[in-house]
């Protein structure tokens, strides 16, 4: 363990450079630059509110906050896992030339998107203030799902990055899986009807739903749901252990396939 910590400390500056490079590349040739991080979720929220709120007769004035909170978390989860999955192949030229701990590539991908995600939360704060969603003491509980989410994404990213080196079609399969995750994360609708219909298990097997659920609880002034908390922590630990294990076992042969 000491060896891995020393190795990480040795290459921590490279991690910072990879993060800077990731942010720069994301907004290269973009006139709006990082401002798009604020505009895009706002526009998405407006469209989804019109479709799933106004047209479906939802009279809850805070519904845009409900949608935006779920959409922001899903966007980070989706983007970070997709970029992590491609990270080894994206940096194949560097892998072939110099030695760098390979876990740095998916880690930098997740951290890059996480920084952008944290900036985008400014929009949520603004919309919440406009729609008069009053902060309570439970708002501090939002820190918990915000810490669990990047760990979960990194663990899953390691798994995907490893498999994607050997199975290129995984990128298309993961896009389909993300669509299923999105529709079972209760981003656009209230989950009560699904739970009452007996299909609540679809939500619980979704690793993202428990995180989104507790994040919303904190925003709307409710305590964290203990069951959802246990499920989200369990998923995060499982993904991280499996991801680290298979990544460590296969990383030495990446160079033969990238």
Q: pTM for the complete prediction?
A: 0.91
Phi, psi (deg, nearest 5) at residue 59: -95, 5
Q: Is 150 within a domain?
A: yes
Q: Is 162 within a domain?
A: yes
Q: Which domain holds residue 110?
A: 11-256
The predicted structure's pLDDT at residue 223: 94
Q: Is 92 within a domain?
A: yes
Q: Is 182 within a domain?
A: yes
pLDDT digits (tens, 9 = 90+) for 93-105: 888 888 888 999 9
- Alpha-carbon gap, residue 44 to 248, rounded angstroms: 39
The predicted structure's pLDDT at residue 11: 79
Q: Is 5 within a domain?
A: no
Q: Is 174 within a domain?
A: yes
Which regions in the chain score pLDDT beneath 70?
A: 1-4, 29-33, 53-58, 193-199
- Coil vs helix vs strand at 228: helix
The predicted structure's pLDDT at residue 54: 66
Domain count, the chain: 1
Q: Is 22 within a domain?
A: yes
The predicted structure's pLDDT at residue 108: 93
The predicted structure's pLDDT at residue 93: 84
Q: Are 114 and 205 in contact (CB under 8 A)?
A: no
Show Cβ contacts of residue 133 under 8 Å, excluding neighbours closer than 6 positions. 62, 65, 219, 220
Q: Is 173 within a domain?
A: yes
The predicted structure's pLDDT at residue 193: 67
pLDDT digits (tens, 9 = 90+) for 7-33: 777 878 888 888 888 888 777 766 666
């Amino acid at each position: 363990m000491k060896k891995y910590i020393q190795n990480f400390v040795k290459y921590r500056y490279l991690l910072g450079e990879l993060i800077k490079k990731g942010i720069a590349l994301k907004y290269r040739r973009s006139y709006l630059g990082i401002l798009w991080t604020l505009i895009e979720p706002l526009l998405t929220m407006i469209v989804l509110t019109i479709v799933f709120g106004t047209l479906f007769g939802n009279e809850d004035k805070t519904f845009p906050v409900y949608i935006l909170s779920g959409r922001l978390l899903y966007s980070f989860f989706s983007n970070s896992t997709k970029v992590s999955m491609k990270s080894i192949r994206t940096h194949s030229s560097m892998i072939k030339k110099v030695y760098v701990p390979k876990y740095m590539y998916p880690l930098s991908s997740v951290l890059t998107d996480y920084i952008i995600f944290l900036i985008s939360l400014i929009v949520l704060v603004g919309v919440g203030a406009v729609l008069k969603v009053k902060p309570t003491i439970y708002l501090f509980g939002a820190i918990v799902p915000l810490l669990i989410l990047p760990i979960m994404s990194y663990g899953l990213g390691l798994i995907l990055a490893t498999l994607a080196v050997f199975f290129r079609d995984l990128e298309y399969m993961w896009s389909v899986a993300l669509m299923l995750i999105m529709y079972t994360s209760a981003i656009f609708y209230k989950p009560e009807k699904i739970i009452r219909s007996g299909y609540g298990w679809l939500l619980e097997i979704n690793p993202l739903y428990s995180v989104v659920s507790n994040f919303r609880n904190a925003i709307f002034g409710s305590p964290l749901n203990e069951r959802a908390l246990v499920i989200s922590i369990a998923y995060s630990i499982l993904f991280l252990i499996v991801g680290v294990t298979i990544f460590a076992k296969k990383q030495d042969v990446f160079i033969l396939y990238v």
